[in-house]
Structures are given as C-alpha cells and as structure tokens.
Amino acid sequence: MSDNAPGSIEWRIDRAPVPYREALAEQEARNAAIAAGQARELVWLIEHPPVYTAGTSAAPGDLIDPRFDVIETGRGGRYTYHGPGQRVAYVLLDLTRRGRDAHAFVHALEGWVIATLADFGVEAWAAPDRIGIWTRDIDGTEAKIGAIGVRIRRWVTMHGLAVNLDPDLSHFGGIVPCGIAEYGVTSLARLGVPVAQALWDEALQRRAGEFLGAFATPEIE
C-alpha cells in the first residue's frame, strides 16, 4: 500500500514480506527516476523473507553458513541479515536538494532510529567505532538492535536502516553481522518490549520531521 505524507515524500508501507531482489530492483529504478526529476522521493517500510546481503566491504570469512540466499547489494558495509520480524526502511532522498552531505544523512538516520527506540523506553546509541545502533542486552552486554547501510548514486540515497522487532535471532548466526564478531544481536522482543509492525511504523513516521530537519537545507520542509 502507499501512504502519501504531506510534502514531496511518498511513504510506501508493505505489510507482507517482499523478496529482496524485487525490492532492490525497485529501489534502483526509483533512484534513477528521482535523479532524473521524474519521481518523488520515497520512504519505503518493508520486511523480507530470510536473506543475507553483502555490502561493498563484505569479507568472505564473515559468511559462516550461507543457509539463505546471499545477494550483493552495492550498499556500504559488510554482511547483514534481513528476515521476518525485522522492519526495514528504505530511504530514497535527493541530496542535491538537501545539502549534499552524506555524513549528515547517515548521522540523521542513526538519530531517527535512536529517537524512535526511546519512544518505546529503549535506550540506544551509535558507537563511533562500530556501524549500527546499539543497546544494552538482557545480560548487560552491548548488542546490536539496528543496522544502517546506504548507497548514494547521482546524489540520490538508497537502502537505509533495519531494526529488529522480533526476528529469529538464530538466523544471524550464519554471518558475522557487519563484520563485528565480539558483540551480539538483540531485538525489542528479547528486551521484553514487544512492538507490532504497525506501531513501529507509526512511531517512525512521527519522528520523520526531526530526521529530515537534521540534514535538510533551510528551504526544504
């Protein structure tokens, strides 16, 4: 389904899992259309059937057990997992209208996830030496609850963020997530904070204005 928010950005919300290759092809086509001035910017909320994806820095040794399809994506980063119970936001924005600052865009994505998690009472943070969004797991150790991975082509962004609502965490065992072996992976459900897909989507949308304002040029809403 599509839900067009006020302003220039289209919000697309899919409830049923969408195959990763299909979503990637749609992103690539939309990226080109936005760059050509033929389509609106897009935020696409989605989940996938189980899949491992490889970023441009993926190391072969980080693929431990390829029990699911492995797809090269062109985004930054290393291996990650997508599957049911994980909510993904693909963010396709035209940075020529928004300051052409890739670092500010990534930082804003991190802040968007952190602020939304805080709305559910979960403290999270970005670590300067590690990719992703981190929180305190049930055993007191640091664990990853969200992933960030982007690609910028013709100054239009692709990919985005993923947050673990209630995925099968054992599925992460087939890879070294983002190449970081010394830390675990957690989810909202594991932390005792069950959040339905629709409720997460609504919370993320409520925080979208802050996200856009964190890197937009003054004339852009």
Which residues form the catalytic set? Answer: 178
Closest CA to 45 of 131, 160, 172: 160
Closest CA to 163 of 130, 219, 127, 204: 204
Q: How far apart are CA 11 and CA 60, in angstroms?
A: 35
